[in-house]
Amino acid sequence: MAVQKEIPVEEKLHALFTLQQIDAKINEIKTIRGELPMEVRDLEDELEGLKTRIAHLEQDLADAEQVIANYKAAKKEAEAQVKKYEKQQDNVKNNREFDALSKEIEMAKLESQLNEKRAKDYVETVSAKQTALEEAQKNIKDKEKFLKTKKSELDNVISETESEEFELNEQANEARKSIEERLLMGYDKIRRNYKNGLAVVTIQRDACGGCFNRIPPQRQIEIRQHRKVILCEHCGRILVDESLAQ
Ligand SMILES: [Zn+2]
């Protein structure tokens, strides 16, 4: 194997930092897109739930109307009976018959009142359900509108970022070519370890830009000299300074 010409550390660091910046952009795209499909899915689930709820409420209301109609019919029937018994009272032969009919009339009147009360109470239940239905219907309209917005947002993000992401991947592959395998492996390993995917970080306010632990002044000087690859002693990230950004 031919002896490879040693690449200056500064170049390596520069290449790593460039790669990190490209990868950060790719991450950003993935994050934006990663949340939108989930939001759209959640909204679709919510809408399904609302539709089921509305269907149930509509069924309940239809049933309730029938129940109220039944109570009203029972009330009318009782009233008719009252009239019937009162007519019969006009033709009674004795007091005993009259009294018996009076009792029947009393019962029928009670029955009529009871059914009237039942119908009234039920109307209150129905009105609560009616309100719930109206709320759900309004809610579904809002959600549908929101879903439409989110869906078009997602479509936009996908169409907007598809080519950008492709381009960035190309750039990342290109940048990787100028970094030796051993360093790349280290870089990828650190990236995998951290949720934000940052393996190369700058000095920020005298601290590591990854874990924010303080970097001693002497070490900061070494980092700025670009003579060796320096890792943060706390988080293991590769430390660089802003001058490598270009
Ligand atoms: Zn650190």
CA of 173 to the centre of ligand 1 (A): 26
Q: What is the pLDDT of residue 31?
A: 83
Q: What is the pLDDT of residue 246?
A: 65
Structure tokens that stand for 145 in this block: 């509108």
Q: What is the pLDDT of residue 28?
A: 87
CA of 209 to the centre of ligand 1 (A): 7
By the 10 Å C-beta count (0-12 exposed, 13-18 middle, 19+ buried), 18 is classed as buried
pTM of the model: 0.54
Instruction: Note whether 197 and 23 are within 8 A (CB).
Output: yes
CA of 152 to the centre of ligand 1 (A): 40
CA of 20 to the centre of ligand 1 (A): 15
CA of 7 to the centre of ligand 1 (A): 26
CA of 237 to the centre of ligand 1 (A): 6
CA of 246 to the centre of ligand 1 (A): 22
Strands laid side by side in the 238-240 sheet: 207-208, 200-204, 238-240, 230-231
Whole-number Å distance between alpha carbons of 147 and 194 = 33
The secondary structure of residue 194, as a DSSP letter, is: S
Q: What is the pLDDT of residue 118?
A: 94
Q: What is the pLDDT of residue 42?
A: 94
Return the closest-CA partner of residue 32 out of 147, 164, 148, 144: 164
Containing H/E element for 208?
Answer: strand 207-208
CA of 32 to the centre of ligand 1 (A): 26
Whole-number Å distance between alpha carbons of 17 and 45 = 42
Residue 33: how many CA atoms within 13 Å on its side-chain side? 16
Residue 36: how many CA atoms within 13 Å on its side-chain side? 17
Instruction: Kindly list the structural domains of the chain, giving each domain's residue range(s) and its CATH number in brackets, ordered by start.
Output: 34-160 (1.10.287.1490)
Q: Block means of pLDDT (10 residues each) for the chain, length 246 residues? A: 69 93 91 85 94 94 92 96 95 93 96 95 90 94 94 88 92 92 94 92 95 96 95 96 83
Q: What is the pLDDT of residue 125?
A: 85
CA of 192 to the centre of ligand 1 (A): 15
Return the closest-CA partner of residue 25 out of 161, 158, 160: 161
CA of 231 to the centre of ligand 1 (A): 8
CA of 24 to the centre of ligand 1 (A): 17
CA of 184 to the centre of ligand 1 (A): 19
Whole-number Å distance between alpha carbons of 104 and 27 = 84
CA of 221 to the centre of ligand 1 (A): 16
Structure tokens that stand for 200 in this block: 């190369």
Going by their DSSP bridges, the two strands 207-208 and 200-204 should be labelled as antiparallel
CA of 241 to the centre of ligand 1 (A): 13
Q: What is the pLDDT of residue 160?
A: 83
CA of 200 to the centre of ligand 1 (A): 10
CA of 186 to the centre of ligand 1 (A): 15
CA of 217 to the centre of ligand 1 (A): 15
CA of 229 to the centre of ligand 1 (A): 14
Q: Alpha-carbon Rg of the chain, whole angstroms? A: 40
